[in-house]
Amino acid sequence: MEKQQNIPTTYHALWCSPNKEDRFYPEYCMGTLCYYGDRPSLLTLLIPPAQGTISSHNKHYDTLWGKDANQYPYTIFGNTQQEPQWDNIEFSKSEYEVRAILRGRHIDSIHTDTFTKCIVEFPHLIDWAHNSRVSSNSDNSANTITIDKTKREPLLVAEVEDGVTYRLVANVAQRKNSDYGIDIKQRTTLTIESSKKQSIRWFLQHILEFSNFLSIALYAEQAHSSIYFTGDGKYPEHCPLLIELSKSITPNGYLIDFNKLKERLPMMMKNWHNNYEQLMPITNYLIDSMQSRKYQSSSDFLIVAQALDGYFKRFVNGKDGKDIKQYAHQIKKLVEHFKDIDAIRECNIDAEEMADTRHKYSHLIPDSDTKLKKAVDGEELYCLTLKGKILLTCCILDNLGLTIEEINQCCENKPITHVLKEIDDYEWWKRIPNE
């Protein structure tokens, strides 16, 4: 049975190009914009034969503007024309795949400095940072639900650079569906504020940075579920930004305890921001390794092994005046640095085993080659991958500025204890005495 596609949200408007040197012909075309959420949006332009044929010398428009019957404006970005499929349509038709939709404003470009404040929702941010605003009481006669709508201080305020602030805010929304039902929803949102106007592209970069930070904190890949920019005196309305959404993974606990490390989080977020360009490829490897897979392969091991190599070269090597190039020596140095972490001691990582295994699978050395005596495969390879994953996690927590004691506390939380249990389950056979 064919999988049913999501029903899109549609917007009907007149569309044009703000670039006077590269306009549509005719200049204004009636069209329907479809936002799907889980795949690229689509703009379909149609004009009747009496108005001629839609034409353009360009197959791509960075920006297009629309305005509906109520004069409500739309700006769409990254518009690429698709190959025409006429299907005996009597109208002139042209379709464009759309990367992003801004509702409520006409702006020249995704790079135009326009907004100072952006509010972002994540489906599982409330699982990490939460301040309840709903309470209930019951007695023999009634159940009473109280919604606290008083203004509260943010859960967290972090200035990641001069003039740029992140705020985590606990909100509650109430909606009366009918006389028979009321929806009450609590949520935690991220607010990104700048002391000067910034572009949509600038805000998207910060949203991605925070998404990856939250993925580490919850030890499960996270993505935003909505974005909107707040208005100002001239443009009071909020402006939603609609882009293709990625799926967030439901977390199994958290790595970083928000309540216990709340006072340290502004420092951690600032370090994350300052090191993000260098840290991003490495954290992407770790986030990728968080995916639950029924079977692990050599490529899963290489993802973690490569990330450890990259981390050492970027953040550790040469800091003590020594240039360490051999992979086994790099691993030994990292293990020594975290020797007081209980999880690292439990892993009992063999640096030579890591090095030989990485060399074997990186260069596809055949099993018949006996030079790499400590290279492993099968269940041992799976366990080695998990051990490397814990070591890599400790490296990133260290880079955030946590102490060894604080890293140890993080490793006592559910995500790492779950990985340790997996290792223990796979290594049980080693403890069986030989007869």
pLDDT-based confidence at residue 81 (cuts at 50, 70, 90): confident
Which of the two residues, 179 and 55, has the higher pLDDT score? 179
pLDDT of 352 reads 96
Q: What percent of the chain has pLDDT over 70?
A: 85
What's the mean pLDDT in 279-293? 88
Which of 5-14, 250-259, 333-342 has the least mean pLDDT? 5-14
Asked if 124 and 220 touch (Cβ cutoff 8 Å), the reply is yes
Nearest-angstrom CA–CA distance, 96 and 59: 9
Residue 28, CA atoms < 13 Å, CB-side half-sphere: 6
Tell me: the pLDDT tens digits for 300-326? Answer: 999 999 999 999 999 999 988 899 999
Give the 3-state DSSP-derived string for the chain, with helices as H, strands as E and coil as C: CCCCCCCCEEEEEEEECCCCCCCCECCCEEEEEEECCCCCEEEEEEECHHHCCCECCCCEEEEEEEECCCCCEEEEEEEEECCCCCCCCCCEEEEEEECEEEECCCCCCCCCCCEEEEEEECCCHHHHCCCCCEEEEECCCCEEEEECCCCCCCCEEEEEECCEEEEEEEEEEEEEEECCEEEEEEEEEEEEEEEEEECHHHHHHHHHHHHHHHHHHHCCCCCCCEEEECCCCCCCCCEEEEECCCCCCCCCCCCCCCCCCHHHHHHHHHHHHHHHHHHHHHHHHHHHHCCCCCCCCHHHHHHHHHHHHHHHHHHHCCCCCCCCCCHHHHHHHHHHHCCCCHHHHHHCCCHHHHHHHHHHHHCCCCCCCCCCCCCCCHHHHHHHHHHHHHHHHHHHHHHCCCCHHHHHHHHCCHHHHHHHHHHHHHCHHHHCCCC
pLDDT-based confidence at residue 102 (cuts at 50, 70, 90): very high
Nearest to 347 by CA among 355, 339, 356: 339
Would you say residue 274 has pLDDT above 90? yes
pLDDT of 275 reads 97
Tell me: the pLDDT tens digits for 389-423? Answer: 999 999 999 999 999 999 999 999 999 999 999 99
Which of the two residues, 268 and 370, has the higher pLDDT score? 268
Which of 70-84, 116-130, 314-328, 346-360 has the least mean pLDDT? 70-84
pLDDT-based confidence at residue 37 (cuts at 50, 70, 90): very high
Would you say residue 129 has pLDDT above 90? yes
Which of the two residues, 373 and 34, has the higher pLDDT score? 34
Would you say residue 52 has pLDDT above 80? no
pLDDT-based confidence at residue 433 (cuts at 50, 70, 90): low
Nearest to 217 by CA among 282, 170, 283, 304: 283
pLDDT of 417 reads 96
Tell me: the pLDDT tens digits for 367-384? Answer: 777 778 888 988 899 999
